[in-house]
Each structure stands twice: as C-alpha cells, then as structure tokens.
C-alpha cells in the first residue's frame, strides 16, 4: 500500500495531471474518488488543517452549486462550509494529495512535486502538452 493518497476526480484534468506526476515518481497512490466515496467530517477537517489553509480556500466554485447555495456570502462559518462540502462533495476542490512530506491542494497540478518523497523518473507533459518535468526529472 502506498504512503500517498490522492483525493481525485477522474473528470478533472488538473487531478489527472497530478496523478500522472505521482506515478512518474514511481509511486502508485491510494486513489480516493471523493465524489463516489466522500470523506467524512473528521477526514475533511483533518485535511483542511493539514493543508494549513482556510476552509473557504478548499471550496470549488466552477461547475458546482457554489452560487446557488449562496456560498459567496462571507458570513458562512467554517462549520457551515464543511457541512455544504459534505452535502455536495463536488464543492471540494481537487486534487488534494497527502504524502509523508505534507498535504496540499495541488492546483496547479505541479504543486504536487513539492510534497513527493521520490524524484521524477523522466519527462512529464500535462495533458495540454505543457512540459512540467524534463527528461532528467527536473522541473521545466
């Protein structure tokens, strides 16, 4: 079992690219498709705390019921925002990656490079063709 976990949405290019970078380091992570298997409250709160970012920074706006639910109202408490994410997992921004070196919301996908325990093993291009890692395994 891997010591890396990715909270993944296979329909998201950023999430697919982060997964590709993890695999390019030689690791096969535990993949949690969080839309099918949402985290519970304790897990979601622990992930937010481990990332060291505000709960609101984990909210995804695009392609979600963010505006319909009125989540742009800054009076929502962290607890209420967590409740909304638990009720509508699509509101959880992705990908969130957990490694022995830290937990991070990997947007852009190459942010995952900062927390991978193993170096890249070769060149990696994002799905759109953008080079991220060169043939020597270094960031471009």
Give the residue numbers marked as catalytic: 12
Q: To the nearest 5 percent, what fractions of the chain are helix, strand and coil?
A: 35, 15, 50
| Helix 41-51 with 78-87: angle, nearest 10 deg | 120
Separation of alpha carbons 124 and 133, rounded Å: 5
The residues, ordered by sequence, that sit 6+ positions from 13 with a Cβ below 8 Å of its Cβ are 126, 127, 128
The tokens describing 100, both together, are 């022995």
């Amino acid at each position: 079992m891997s010591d890396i976990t990715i909270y993944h949405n296979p329909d998201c290019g950023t999430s697919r690219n982060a997964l590709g970078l993890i695999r390019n380091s030689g690791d096969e992570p535990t993949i949690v498709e969080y839309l099918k298997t949402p985290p519970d409250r304790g897990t979601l709160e622990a992930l937010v705390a481990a990332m060291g970012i505000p709960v609101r920074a984990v909210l995804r706006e695009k392609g979600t019921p963010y505006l319909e639910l009125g989540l742009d109202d800054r009076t929502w408490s962290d607890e209420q925002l967590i409740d909304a994410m638990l009720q509508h997992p699509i509101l959880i921004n992705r990908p969130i990656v957990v490694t022995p070196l830290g937990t991070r919301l990997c947007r852009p996908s190459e942010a995952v490079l900062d927390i991978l325990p193993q170096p890249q093993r070769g060149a990696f291009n994002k799905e759109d063709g953008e080079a991220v890692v060169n043939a020597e395994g270094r960031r471009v």
